Structures are given as C-alpha cells and as structure tokens.
Amino acid sequence: MSGPALPAGLRKLAPAERKALWERLYFDGTEAAAAGNAGSEALELSDLLVESAVGALTLPLGIAQGFLIDGRRYDLPLAVEEPSVIAAAGYAARIVAEGGGFVTEADEPLMESYVYLEGVSAEGEARLASEGAEARIRAALGAIQGSLERRGGGYRGRRVYRLPETGLVALELSVDVRDAMGANILNTAAETVKSQAEELSGGKALMCILSNASPRRLARARFELPLAALAPFARGFSADEAARRVVLAWRLADEDPARAVTHNKGIMNGVASLAQATLNDTRAVEAAAHAWAARSGRLRSLSRYEIADGSLRGAIELPLALGAVGGSVDLHPAGKAALRLLGDPDSRRLARIAAALGLAQNFAAVLALVTGGIQKGHMRLHAARLAYKAGARGDDARRAADIVAAGGAYTLAAAEAAVASLRAGAGS
C-alpha cells in the first residue's frame, strides 16, 4: 500500500514546508508526528546534512551502564530501535565487570584510498611504482595535508598493483587519518594525486575513492571471567557447562557461515548503535566488519571464546573506522553529547570502547542462547510494543504489557483486550 505522492520538486520547498507536508500526509495525527519526527531545530540540522529533508527521525537513544573498560567505568550511548540491545549490553557489562572488565587496544588510524587506472602499460606501471613517483606523490599530499600532519597524521606510503581480471592498475595510498573517520581526507588524497598518477602511468583514471575495508585500523577487546563469577548467570547450568556451551557456540559460528551472519549481527547490534549515537557512518563500519569476518574466503566469527585456568575468556578483533571529529560527529548536538558522555575520546579510544561493546553484546546473546534461549526476554519487551500499538501510554503501557506477558499470548488482540480491561477498571 503506497501513500499519497510527494511533489516532484520537494527539495525546492522551504524546509518547514517540506516538514509540514510530510507530517500532514504521512503521520496519523499530531501525536504521531510529535513522536515520529523531531522539531524545527532538528529540521534545520537535517536540512544542512541531507537533501530534501522533511524532518529528523527520533530513533530511541538509551544508555548501557556498567562497563568497565581498561580500568575505567563507562556509560555507553546507544541509538537503536531493537528493544533488547541496551538491556543485553548492560547485562553482559555487569557480568564481565565481575572478572575485572574489558582490556582493549586499537591500531593507528591508517586507512587506504585508491586511484584506479585503465590503459596502463607495464612501463607505465613501473614508472608509477618508482621512487621518483613516490617523491611526487608525497610532495602533492604534503601540500594539502599540513593540518593533518600537525596533528600527527598524513601520508604513510603507497602500493601499486595490477588487478588480473580487469587489467586496471591500482595506486593505493595509505594515510593516517587521526581522529576522523577519514572519508573526506582519503577521497581528497586520491583526487589530489589523480593527474600525477595519470601522467606517470600514461593511463586514465576510472575512479578515485577510499576503501571502507580498513583492515589496518583494527580494534581488539578481551575479558577473562572466573567460572565462579559466571555461575550466578548460568540459568540452571553449572558454570563449567555454561562456559563449555559458550565456547561450542563460538566454534559453531566459526564453522557455519549461516550462524556466523547472525552471531556477527549480534556484535554489530552494539557497535552500530554506538556508531549511530555518535553520528558515525554505520554502513561503513558494518561493511568493514563483515568483510573482515570473511577475509579467509569463508564467513567466520568476529569473536572467539576459550576456557583456560578456570576462566572463560572472550576476545574480539574487528576494523573500526569511527570518527571522533569531522563529518556529522562533532557538528550534531546529539553526537557531541554522546562523545561527551564517553569522555571526549579520540578515534582510537572510541574504537576500543566499541570493540568492548561488541564483545559484550555477543557474550550476552551467546550466553542467553545456550542457557535457555532469548525469546522469553524478547517477548516481554515485545509485549510493551504491542501495548503501545493497542493505544496504551505511560504506566498503562507497562501494566498492559504485564497482563499480556502473564497471559502468554503475544498478539495485538491480547494487548487490546488488556488495554480494554485496564480502561474498564479505571472507569469502574
């Protein structure tokens, strides 16, 4: 079912007109518009960030508390629509804190950008790979990367290679992007050296673009949890057995790509929510993580678990190109507030926090899955959504959700009946 058509020249309308039109045509009354679309200040920002803005989606923002990362307490801002994500992150964080928390590290923020050239002869390829070419590229990039170099970043070297299928020659530039996510720096770098690359190689550039793969911008997190500390969370299993099942669940994800997709999706539940809350590029982070997980030619788990010395050990490694400055990150007040809550981290610290969060999210999911399943907890949260859909608000939504959960039938009809019974009770 499609809604009413929007005018073709939508982008030419004033932002407030676009917003009013959008809300009039597509929201079910002013209450729905107020819940679903942010106000005029947010619209102004949206208009700056995207074309044809009609509003700002009010994605839930919550705080996962109780993280102990490298000896420091953190509350993590997460923006996500899925009910269980923040609850699960906080739950795992509290369990892991019992064992001393997460230990993390992150590589230097090195990323790659490419000029892809066609029609390059073997001699042209050799000229592009020569020391003389290196000096010219370095000089050209030095001229535009002064402020990046003053902050400790800048050009770090290049690689030239030919792709066998297309015959294209790639000029790969490595750049330390410091606290930025890096897209602008990297794309500018490739475009800056394009004419030199064409001249040196005798070829013609097909495109200049960064790679989001970021295989050298990795972050890692690990934890060690004494089995005795796991025992209270093993839901009827012994701690040894729960830990054994967690390890087997990791081996399953590492073996069966069908399971790895979902296992890694659970990790990204946390990572992408933190990226979203800090106004980072969630798609870049997702694309890089999944490509990294498949780097062996088979999709594998981003995390791993083992039992050693009476403890369950968890670890994760993944590329995390998160910016702490630039883009929308330090422009958007919501991004700035999220970063302030995190203690205004640099990009490497942010990546370390995200790695710990991804591991926490994974541990919560896997532990729940192997000790009785996730649906019971999920359905309780689902009941609250059904109650909202049935028209309950505030305390009534919670009460109606309790009635639905107690009845065990998670349907809209059950929620409507619960709301009706509450209203009847209030009226009597």
Q: Give the one residue of 30, 262, 375, 421 binding ligand MEV; rule: CB under 6 A.
A: 262
The whole-angstrom separation of Cα 414 and Cα 383 is 9
The whole-angstrom separation of Cα 34 and Cα 22 is 12
Residues 8-67 that bind ligand MEV (CB under 6 A): none
Phi, psi of 405 (to 5 degrees): -60, -40
82 contacts ligand MEV (rule: CB under 6 A): yes
Pairing label, strands 154-162, 169-176: antiparallel
The whole-angstrom separation of Cα 21 and Cα 114 is 42
252 contacts ligand MEV (rule: CB under 6 A): no
Q: Which one of the listed residues 105, 265, 336, 402 is annotated catalytic? A: 265
Residue 203 near residue 124 (C-beta atoms within 8 A): yes
SS3 354: helix
Q: Which one of the listed residues 198, 281, 317, 330 is annotated catalytic? A: 281
Q: Give the one residue of 109, 153, 266, 270 binding ligand MEV; rule: CB under 6 A.
A: 266
Residue 324 near residue 350 (C-beta atoms within 8 A): yes
Kindly indicate which of the ranges 195-203, 333-341, 363-371, 394-402 contains the residues binding ligand MEV, using the contact rule CB under 6 A: 363-371
Judged by CB under 6 A, how many residues of this single chain contact ligand MEV? 10
Q: Give the one residue of 263, 300, 304, 332 binding ligand MEV; rule: CB under 6 A.
A: 263
290 is a catalytic site residue? no
Cβ closer to ligand MEV: 30 or 375?
Answer: 375
Cβ closer to ligand MEV: 53 or 366?
Answer: 366
Q: Give the one residue of 365, 383, 387, 418 binding ligand MEV; rule: CB under 6 A.
A: 365
Q: Give the one residue of 126, 231, 374, 381 binding ligand MEV; rule: CB under 6 A.
A: 374
269 contacts ligand MEV (rule: CB under 6 A): yes
Residue 362 near residue 303 (C-beta atoms within 8 A): yes
- The residue count of the chain comes to 428
Beta strands of 293-346 (E only): which ranges? 303-308, 311-319
Closest CA to 108 of 345, 346, 354, 359: 346
Structure tokens at 280: 């980072």
265 is a catalytic site residue? yes
**Shortest Å distance, C-beta 86 to ligand MEV:** 12
Residues that bind ligand MEV (CB under 6 A): 82, 262-263, 265-266, 269, 365-366, 369, 374
Query: Which residue numbers are catalytic?
Result: 82, 265, 281, 378
